[in-house]
Amino acid sequence: MEKVSDIIPFFKSNLNQIGDEKEIISWAYLSIKHVLGFNRSECIVYKDQKLSKSFQLELQDITQDLSKQMPIQYILGHCRFYGLKFLLNHHVLIPRPETEELIEWILKESFSSVLDIGTGSGCIAICLAKHTNAQVNALDLSEEAIALASKNAQRNNVDVSFLISDILTTGLKEKYDVIVSNPPYVLENEKQYIAANVLDYEPHKALFVSNMNPFLFYERIINLASNHLYTGGCLFFEINERYGNQIMDLLYNKGFVDIELKKDINDKDRMIKAIWK
């Protein structure tokens, strides 16, 4: 790997057992952008440019990490989400395209205040702050997550109020027009179906919930929302596709109305919206 045109073949030859060709090429271009600053068209223009030894080593390190099935987002330390750049580390989940769909749904509402519960990287809260004039609050029990989310808010020039708080043990003080949460919802016994790049690297506290109490976070947040949403306010959840109807029942039994279950781009039940009467 001596020049720019060698990079794609190098990634293919070293990673053909890890991903399909399209995915490997995507990793390669993300890595080129990160290391060299070149986009795809610039890779053609500068295809004969020689790589310094430090660039070669950096690209080799990236392929070694990828060969261990480490997600490219953690390797590079950032990702693009809803048109914005977010810093990432192992203390937070990698934002998913399905969550972009949830944000699209929320933005169809009119609101002046919002609370994001379990904010992680801050992706939901920051995107809502970027596209509205609402007062946005967000909380997470992880100090490391809140520290990273705060950096992401600064980098994206938005004002979000972050708080370290365990929603299972701490109450809320204010009322909101919108409460949103993408809580842990993968059951412990579903680990066998989770890809290694997720299971080995993403934070389990943000992913998994006990088999004995799959609705732990939903029940708690629904109870809090019933006291801390304004009349006509909206509660949004991202959910485990297996439990859409059960979560709708929890909401109905608590007094929420106009409950909607929405599929994601992969045709899986993924999001719920409910109105506090």
The DSSP-derived string for 91-106 is: TSPPP-HHHHHHHHHH
What tokens were used for 123?
Answer: 């992706």
Residue 16, number of CB atoms within 10 A of its CB: 11
What tokens were used for 102?
Answer: 């949830």
Cα–Cα nearest to 215, from 173, 263, 249: 249
Question: What residues of the chain score a pLDDT lower than 70?
Answer: none
The answer to whether 11 and 28 have CB atoms below 8 angstroms apart is: yes
Q: What is the DSSP letter of 49?
A: P
* pLDDT (0 to 100) of residue 106: 98
How far is Cα 44 from Cα 248, in angstroms, rounded to an integer? 52
For the chain, strand residue ranges (E) read 78-81, 84-87, 113-117, 135-140, 160-164, 176-181, 186-187, 208-209, 229-238, 256-263, 269-276
Residue 270, number of CB atoms within 10 A of its CB: 23
What tokens were used for 110?
Answer: 């009119």
Sign of the Cα torsion 161, 219, 216, 273 reads negative
How far is Cα 188 from Cα 214, in angstroms, rounded to an integer? 9
For tokens 């009349």, the residue is: 231
Strand partners, 115: 137, 179
Going by C-beta distance under 8 Å and a sequence separation of 6 or more, which residues neighbour residue 59?
1, 7, 10, 31, 32, 35, 51
* pLDDT (0 to 100) of residue 14: 95
pLDDT digits 0-9 by tens, 202-226: 999 999 998 889 999 999 999 999 9
pLDDT digits 0-9 by tens, 148-177: 999 999 999 999 999 999 999 999 999 999
How far is Cα 77 from Cα 91, in angstroms, rounded to an integer? 12
pTM (2 decimals)?
Answer: 0.93
Buried b (16+ CB within 10 A) or exposed e, 55-83: bbeebeebbebbeeebbbbbbbebbebbe
* pLDDT (0 to 100) of residue 19: 86
